[in-house]
Structure formats: structure tokens, C-alpha cells
């Protein structure tokens, strides 16, 4: 199977998951979503108080060998395994999920191509820009409603961890992006991105690839 990897990077709550899901829906059975969030390290060996103090916005919080193994397997057209992660407890739950390869694998996360060795694996690298005030508003809604967090702790984490780590590790990926999109992504931009992905899925010798741009 010919498989292409499409990476979507951006800051926390910038809309990466939303964009990956909308593309997966539009591409149907041809697409599979792989989230870097699934590969956070299991912290079940730590007491709950210690888990909450871990800096989840630093790349070292991720199990990179497991992520890279899954990425390379899917790109080669082989099945892969991805952990099931519970953000409320910061632990993995149950056995890993088996992923069957699809022609297009949509990879979303904070740092999908931060490591230079991973960049050549992607057919297309998309970076999402989002104002910090919008990110904070979205994180408050998500973390309080879905993860049972306290609003004050969410604001403190955003100020002390999210923004500093974003500037240090996330934003530099913009320089290597093929496309830079502004969040929220419009329907027109979503359709254009879908068309761009389909060009990679069904390449034509007579079709010229569009240059990198900002939409």
C-alpha cells in the first residue's frame, strides 16, 4: 500500500485535533488519524500529586521510541500499535490499540516534526497559528469540562508551562512547514487542504505542486 503521512502541528488548543478529524471525515476510508497525544508516557508509577506537576508541554513527556515505531510502520504499510491514554489520570489504560494502515495517515500533535529525522517521512507538514487568548479560552473549556480540571490550575499551567514551552519547542517548527494556516480554519481553507492532500494521494505528472503559502 502506498501511504502518505500528513502532519499537523501547532500550539495547545490551536485546533489541531479539530482539523485532523475534519480531514479524516472528508477523506473517509482512505484516512487514519494518529495523535501524538496518545504517546504520552505512562505515569501510573507516580502518586497523583506528582503526576499533576509533570510538564506535559515539554517533548520529554512523550514516549518517542513508541511514536516513531508506529509512524514508520504505518508509512511502510504495516499495522502499528498506539497506547490508549487517559488525560484525567495521566496513565495508559488497557492494551494498545491496533492500527491498520490507510493511504493517508493524519498525524497531529505539538511536535510531530520537531526531530529533524522525522521531517522526510511526511508528504505534507501543516502548521496552525492561533492567538494565545483563543488557546486559553479553548483550554479552559476542554480541561474543565472534559478532564475535570480546576480553572485556576489551567490558567497557571498555561502561563507557566504552555506558553514558554510553545515558544521554545512548538513555534520553531513553523520554519519547516509546507503550509501555515490560521485558526480557526475556514471551510474554504479546509477544502483547499483536502485537495492538496488528494494531489499527494493521486499524483499526476502533469500537475504542478503548489508552493508553500499562508492561507
Whole-structure pTM over 0.85, yes or no? yes
Identify the pLDDT of residue 213: 47
How many residues make up the chain in this entry?
215
145: left (phi over 0), alpha (psi -120 to 50) or beta: alpha
Count of domains for the chain: 1
Give the integer Cα–Cα distance in Å for 48 and 143.
17
Identify the pLDDT of residue 74: 98
Cell, residue 30 = 482512505
State which residues form the domain around 38: 4-214
Per-residue tens of pLDDT for the chain, all 215 residues: 899 999 999 999 999 999 999 999 999 999 999 999 999 999 999 999 899 889 999 999 999 999 999 999 999 999 999 999 998 899 999 899 999 999 999 999 999 999 999 999 999 999 999 999 999 999 999 888 877 788 998 999 999 999 999 999 999 999 999 999 999 999 999 999 999 999 999 876 544 444 444 44
Identify the pLDDT of residue 114: 96
Identify the pLDDT of residue 150: 85
- Domain holding 18: CATH number? 3.40.50.300
Kindly give, in sequence order, each residue whose CB lies less than 8 Å from that of residue 12, ignoring residues fewer than 6 positions away. Answer: 57, 110, 135, 139, 158, 162, 166
* Other CB atoms within 10 Å distance of the CB of residue 193: 22
Amino acid at each position: 500500500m502506498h501511504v502518505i503521512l500528513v502532519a499537523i502541528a501547532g500550539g495547545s488548543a490551536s485546533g489541531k485535533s479539530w482539523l485532523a478529524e475534519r480531514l479524516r471525515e472528508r477523506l473517509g476510508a482512505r484516512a487514519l488519524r494518529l495523535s501524538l497525544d496518545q504517546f504520552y508516557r505512562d505515569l501510573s508509577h507516580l502518586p497523583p500529586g506528582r503526576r499533576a506537576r509533570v510538564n506535559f508541554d515539554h517533548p520529554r513527556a512523550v514516549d518517542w521510541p513508541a511514536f516513531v515505531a508506529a509512524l514508520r510502520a504505518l508509512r511502510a504499510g504495516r499495522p502499528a500499535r498506539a497506547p490508549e491514554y487517559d488525560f484525567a489520570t495521566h496513565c495508559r489504560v488497557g492494551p494498545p490499540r491496533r492500527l491498520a494502515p490507510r493511504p493517508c495517515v493524519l498525524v497531529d500533535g505539538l511536535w510531530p516534526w520537531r526531530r529533524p529525522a522525522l521531517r522526510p517521512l511526511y508528504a505534507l507538514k501543516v502548521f496552525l497559528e492561533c492567538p494565545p487568548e483563543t488557546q486559553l479560552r479553548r483550554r479552559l473549556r476542554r480541561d474543565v469540562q472534559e478532564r475535570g480540571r480546576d480553572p485556576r490550575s489551567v490558567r497557571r499551567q498555561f502561563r507557566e508551562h504552555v506558553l514558554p514551552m510553545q515558544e521554545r519547542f512548538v513555534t520553531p517548527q513553523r520554519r519547516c512547514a509546507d503550509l501555515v494556516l490560521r485558526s480557526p480554519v475556514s471551510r474554504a481553507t479546509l477544502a483547499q487542504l483536502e485537495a492538496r492532500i488528494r494531489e499527494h494521494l493521486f499524483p499526476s505528472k502533469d500537475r504542478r505542486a503548489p508552493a508553500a503559502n499562508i492561507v
